[in-house]
Amino acid sequence: MTSAKTSTATRRLLAAAAATLLAITLAACSGNADLSAQYRSGSNKGYIAGDGSILEIPVPDRGAPVTFNGTSDTGAEISSEDYAGSVLVVNFWYAACAPCRAEAPDLVSTYQDHRADGVSFLGVNIRDQAATAREFANAYGLSYPSIADTDGSVKLSFAGELAPNAVPTTLVLDHEGRVAARVLGRVDGSTLSALIDRVVEEA
């Protein structure tokens, strides 16, 4: 009798554990689907606004060159070494962030305006799966690459330069890979162009 009761209790525990695991798995899957749905619907869930502040860092006060590596939403390997000697604009974003969508046309036009100056642009998507990021890029005409940084490793490389959870954030790195300017929140094309020009002229 005792053995039968023990067996029944064991089966109930196993069933409960299996149900819990299934619930966790379904929640994770629905979370990814929800993010994609937020992008399509224009939802702003999870967005923490930057304060719009602009910071320019004088050359003597800049920190060490930032090093990073990651994989783009198209599967390409990307490293800070790829941009050695160039001015690099790094934009942290994700698809469901309304200001990220609002600033996208300015980023595209500013990138096109400064490509001839040897300026590179790189997106860092902090939340989306690759398919959602590519959908966003296609919708807004982003022709520069974006690293898929769902594990936060690239963001960690910029520790001290970024306000936690403030998205979008845009950084301008100088020819040595040091952060020279930062915009917290939506950036407009004229402001970004002015920041880029001043860093380009340092060379």
What is the predicted pLDDT for the residue at 164?
60
Distance of CA 145 to the CA centre of its chain: 11
Whose structure tokens read 């009761």?
Answer: 5
Identify the H or E element spanning 170.
strand 169-173
Q: Are 161 and 63 in contact (CB under 8 A)?
A: yes
Residues near 52 by Cβ (< 8 Å), separated by ≥ 6? 183, 184, 185, 186
Cα distances from 141 to residues 85, 93, 101, 121, in angstroms, run 26, 15, 11, 13
pTM of this structure: 0.76
What is the model's pLDDT at position 29?
30
177: its two tokens: 């890979």
| Dihedral of alpha carbons 178, 98, 165, 131, sign | negative
Q: Where are the domains of the chain?
A: 54-200
The pLDDT value given to residue 162: 74
Residue 52: per-residue pLDDT: 72
Please check whether the domain covering 54-200 is classified as CATH 3.40.50.1000. Answer: no
Greatest C-alpha distance within the chain: 86
* pLDDT by 10s per residue, the chain, length 203: 444 444 444 455 444 444 433 333 333 333 333 433 433 343 444 334 556 789 999 999 999 999 999 999 999 999 999 999 999 999 999 999 999 999 999 999 999 999 999 999 999 999 999 999 999 999 999 999 999 999 999 999 998 887 666 899 999 999 999 999 999 999 999 999 999 999 999 97
Name the residue with tokens 């340092």: 202
**Bond from prior residue into 65 cis (ω within 30 degrees of 0):** no
Please tell me the distance from the alpha carbon of residue 92 to that of residue 168, in angstroms, as a whole number.
Answer: 5
Backbone angles phi, psi at 102, to 5 degrees: -65, -35
